[in-house]
Chains A and B, each alone.
Chain A
Amino acid sequence: MYHLLQHHQQATASSADNTKTEITALSTTRRGFIKTISAGSGVFMLGCGVAPSLSQAAAAATPDLSSLVFNAFLKITPDNRVIVSIKHLDKGQGVTTGLTTIVADELGASWQQMDWEFAPADAKRYNNLYWGQSQGTGGSTSIANSWDQLRNTGASAREMFIQAATKKWQVEVGNITVKDGIVSDGKHSATLGELAAEAAKQSVPKEPKLKKTADLQLIGKDIPRKDSPEKVNGSAIYTQDIHLPGMLTALVLFPPKLRGKLISVDDKEAKKMPGVVDVVKIPRGVAVVAENFWTAKKARDTLQAKWDLSASESRGTDQLKQALTNATKQKNHVITTRGDAATTIAKDDIKGQVIEAEYHLPYMAHAAMEPMNCVVQVTDNGAEYWFGSQAPTIDQSQTAEILGISPDKVIIHTHYAGGSFGRRACPDDYVLDALHIAKNIKGRPVKMVWTREDDMQNCRFRPMSAHAIKAKVSTSGELLAWQHNAAAQPILRGTPFGGMIQGPVDPTVYEGISDLAYDFENFEVRATEFESPISTLWWRSVGHSSNAFVVETFVDQLARAAKVDPLSFRRKMLSKEPRWLGVLNLAAEKANWGKKLPKGTAQGIAVHKAMGSWVAQVAEVTVSGKDIRVNHVTCAIDCGIVINPDIVKAQMEGSIGFALGAIFGEEITLKEGHVEQKNFDSYTPLRMNQMPEVDVYMVDSTERPSGVGEPGVPPLTPAVANAVFAITGKPVTQLPIKLV
């Protein structure tokens, strides 16, 4: 999904200025905010004629939908609560706090009076501005795409409060301030709640004036997370926790391999069990629907099914690895080229050292702590969902298509997601499984839950990949040429996102390689899409999660060949790239790069750009025997203007811990096409004792905000691997790292 962001940026010539232009254009062409006081409630709503909490049907009934393109983001209640509609999913990244902060600051509200609610699914009002007419959360775009939208929301409301106060108090506009939730001219004062009804009667400013940076009160400060209290006392409601009147629980028996098809099932035992309501066949398996989880689970365990696995993968990991390696040896599509890398490397009269490497990366599972699940009720008129939807309007339109109804008849209530890392932005998957079950159970909501085993075995994995690279370093230590050949399964192809593939190869295969920022003369990147029936999906930072490892560890091999310090080697080739250099230098300085360390301990460095942000990390690693210990990671990020430094820090800490699992043992392997890992005993995310100390630093910036949720992942594995290389002298070309 983040490709939509990338393409958006490409479409606007990758420049912040153009992005601004586009958003301004949207602002000026919109028909202006519509405001209303909903009958009897006295609730001030800036934006549209319906409150976000009202149903989709009511929204659809509003006559002029074009005026709803922007802004159903803010309402203020008479009891002085300021409520922001959050169009994005919270899966831990802190959007409920970050997005609310932007509105609060421009409005002049106090943080205490701020509240939020998840917006309903609505592609027109709540679309991700980087995704066209589609609502969704991904590519680390939540803050970036909402920045202007929510500043304008807050600023428009502030001007309307000022207008209301001038009329009420008969004073000059210039004398009125809105600060800490109080509208005042020095003599008179009122809370936002008290003035909300009058403010709502004012005309909506066409071009609200945004605050100057110096006047911002909340942005850039460590505002406490709004979601902390309920996540600390157990009252936060995730999909797993939803209990509705009459609700049933469903578990699905899936085929033993992805893409298996049901031939027959014996469900006699299951149907006899007390508490079992039904056993229904769905396209991907057989569902047991029961009064509660335990009954459904016991009944599912009695099902005897026969499967046709002819369309499934039959190879094992070693065979796939070999096939991927072979694929990198082909004359694949040229993705990018400058100079003549092949000739430079081949010609003996161009003096230098040729370095070659082959890389392998495994399938990876998202393994969010909350396994996939979905609550849905199908009625005669439509469908209603309760779950942590990451791409709600895709889920909405796919549901509408299956039920043969219009999308506005599909209501989605968004709830907290217990992690995602990309997993919940997945068309044609668990949501539709739940729908197919609920279609058979009229009149009662159904909660479909996956066990951990279901989640692991039916995951859509980060693709396995292989890379073959050749390069030449001159006798004076300069990189002369780099020839890269990458093979991986595509992620976008064959999905509703397929339209984002512009060239012959899915960009997730080569992103972070073809756009290498290092300045050298001869460069060629080739790539190919590898085919397998195994399903793939974006895994936190998508292609960058693999490709940064490949590129940045290879750079260390080159630096070693050039006999140049890895930091100096990078600096020299990034001299025209201030934002790359900015994070690289900051991380190196804070980590005291090059400091003396005991034998067996070393630093490794890596830098990468993903989702519009630059991140450099220095890992300090100790190797003893076959054991690797990461003691410390210093992280520097440039994500433009920082809304909440503490949340940025948290995302960097989390990204580092997430990525470290890939160093220590996380991998999905196949045996004759069967996924070998089923649970956390064999798939091993990072645990407490493996977590290093992490320090995070942010580059001061006045640039537009860019991504934070994912860009901390890519540099981690190469930074650690480079430290291991420095200690052992042996380049790391595979993950997880297995020292022999």
Chain B
Amino acid sequence: MIKLKVNDKSVEYNGDPNQPLLWYLRDDLKLTGTKYGCGIGACGACTVHMNGSPVRSCSLPMAALGSSSIRTIEGLSSNVGKEVQQTWKELDVVQCGYCQSGQIMSATALLESNPKPSSTDIDNAMQGNICRCATYQRIRQAIGQTAKKLEG
């Protein structure tokens, strides 16, 4: 049995240990904000936080989770996370929106570990998240603006 926390709630898992976390979140817990995009950790749409760090849930088998604490877009509650979402709305970053949960989880993890990222830091941290609508310019702006807001 795998015991873990998802969005601060304790859950127990008895299913196939090879099932990726993504499908446990989406099909079992009905937390559908985390998206499937590629299944090989190449697009970032499935990004969640595992013990505070961004991970690609599509490529993370349940067996590898130990007693981790998982946070999804639905449970994003930190100041940084809330501020990131707010700036995302102010700049109307989204287009189709499908990748944006993953973008926001990656951006939040970046700002939580690096409150003043340079543009190279932003590019590096966000390079694993594809946005086919190419909202990259606004993502870059939103991360920069959020950093400024949090500083002030």
Contacts and interface: CB of A to CB of B under 8 A. Distances in A.
Interface of A: 90-94, 224-225, 227-229, 231-238, 240-241, 243, 249, 292-294, 298, 367-371, 416-421, 449, 451-453, 646-647, 650, 653-658, 660, 679-681, 685-689, 691, 693-694
B136 A369 contact: no
Contact of A234 (B93, B101, B122, B131): B101
B85 A233 contact: yes
A294 B27 contact: yes
Contact of B73 (A233, A451, A679): A233
B85 A650 contact: no
A451 B42 CA distance: 13
B117 interface: no
A324 B2 CA distance: 57
Given A653-B138, A694-B137, A224 B89 contact: yes
B127 A688 contact: yes
A243 B136 contact: no
Contact of A228 (B72, B89, B123, B127): B89
Nearest to B27: A292
Contact of B88 (A90, A232, A685, A686): A232
B5 interface: no
Most buried by A among B39, B95, B99: B95
B134 A234 contact: no
Contacts of A93: 95
Given A92-B94, A234-B31, A234-B101, 16 more contacts: A231-B97, A234-B73, A238-B98, A240-B32, A293-B23, A293-B26, A294-B19, A369-B37, A369-B99, A369-B133, A370-B98, A420-B96, A451-B39, A650-B138, A657-B136, A658-B133
A232 B23 contact: no
A228 B137 contact: no
Given A653-B135, A680-B130, A419 B72 contact: no
A654 B94 contact: no
Contacts of A227: 94, 97
A650 B74 contact: no
A654 B42 contact: no
Interface in B27-60: 27-28, 30-40, 42-43, 45
A163 B132 CA distance: 48
Contacts, number: 178
Nearest to B97: A231
B134 A369 contact: no
Contacts of B40: 452, 679-681
Contacts of B12: none
Contacts of B72: 234
A419 B94 contact: no
A228 B94 contact: yes
B8 interface: no
Nearest to B19: A294
A679 B41 CA distance: 10
Contacts of B93: 228, 232
A658 B32 contact: no
A572 to B, nearest CB: 34
Interface residues of B, number: 56
23 contacts: A91-B96, A94-B95, A231-B94, A233-B73, A234-B31, A234-B72, A234-B73, A238-B35, A238-B98, A240-B32, A240-B36, A367-B132, A368-B132, A369-B133, A370-B96, A417-B96, A419-B132, A421-B132, A452-B37, A650-B138, A655-B134, A660-B134, A689-B123
Contacts of B23: 292-294
A236 B74 CA distance: 11
A655 B95 CA distance: 12
Nearest to B86: A232
Contacts of B34: 234
Contacts of B42: 679-681
B104 interface: yes
Interface string B71-109: 011101000000001001100111111111100100000
A417 B72 CA distance: 21
A457 to B, nearest CB: 13
B137 A234 contact: no
A417 B35 CA distance: 13
B89 A232 contact: yes
A687 B140 CA distance: 12
Contacts of B27: 249, 292-294
Contact of B33 (A234, A679, A686): A234
Contacts of A418: 35, 96-99
A370 B88 CA distance: 20
Given A369-B43, A688-B126, A233 B137 contact: no
B151 interface: no
Contacts of B28: 292
A90 B98 CA distance: 12
Contact of B134 (A94, A417, A656): A656
Contacts of A293: 23, 26-27, 36
